[in-house]
Chain A
Amino acid sequence: DGGITQSPKYLFRKEGQNVTLSCEQNLNHDAMYWYRQDPGQGLRLIYYSQIVNDFQKGDIAEGYSVSREKKESFPLTVTSAQKNPTAFYLCASTKRGNTGELFFGEGSRLTVL
């Protein structure tokens, strides 16, 4: 079955550590996205990539980094510079030519201890 796989589902990190969240899709989608969900704040866009080897900052990119070396993969690194990293992170993808209907993974919950 095609879909988006995020791992790990739960992750704990000590302050000052970088952590990388994995996102893989086998939908042959061109565009991939990372969102963050906080209580009462909805989903906010961190980074997105429309094509391999290219990505753009979203609304809250500070303290995060991404790479897009393969069409299928869009990992997100939460760096120690991110001041409030505890959140639910969602990866999504969509076809080129699609008018915005995103397919989401099941999410990764990051907790900083």
Chain B
Amino acid sequence: DQQVKQNSPSLSVQEGRISILNCDYTNSMFDYFLWYKKYPAEGPTFLISISSIKDKNEDGRFTVFLNKSAKHLSLHIVPSQPGDSAVYFCAASAGGVVTGGGNKLTFGTGTQLKVEL
């Protein structure tokens, strides 16, 4: 049972345009959401997060939007750059806001983003 779903395995965008990566979840107990970026043969690196008490969080070129009623979140990258080409994983945890403590994450299957010149 895939509780965090990234239905687009790949996305291709031109440099300078907006990249939108989507993620859906089914577990209503999830209250903290994160995006990770991963290059081949490396570990994922944390990109941006959002708690369920917010609907938007912005950090430079990266913005995450959360729609709790739809159980949907998205990552916007603008403007996209060639160095953004990587696999992006959406992840979620339950009880993170309440307990604040090292909770296990459930990951989606990832979306391969390719930013073309």
Contact = CB atoms under 8 A, between A and B. Distances in A.
Given A42-B110, A99-B49, A100-B91, A90 B102 contact: no
Interface in B1-41: 4, 6, 9, 32, 34, 41
A63 interface: no
Dominant secondary structure of chain A at its interface with chain B = strand
Contacts of A99: 32, 49, 51, 93, 96-97, 100, 103
A68 interface: no
Interface residues of B, number: 29
Interface string B77-98: 0000000000001010100110
A105 B38 CA distance: 12
Interface residues of A, number: 33
A-B pairs with the 3 shortest C-beta distances?
A104-B43, A31-B102, A42-B109
A43 to B, nearest CB: 4
Nearest to B45: A104
A102 interface: yes
B101 interface: yes
Contacts of A100: 32, 34, 49, 91, 93, 96, 102-103, 105
Contacts of B109: 40-42
A35 B45 CA distance: 14
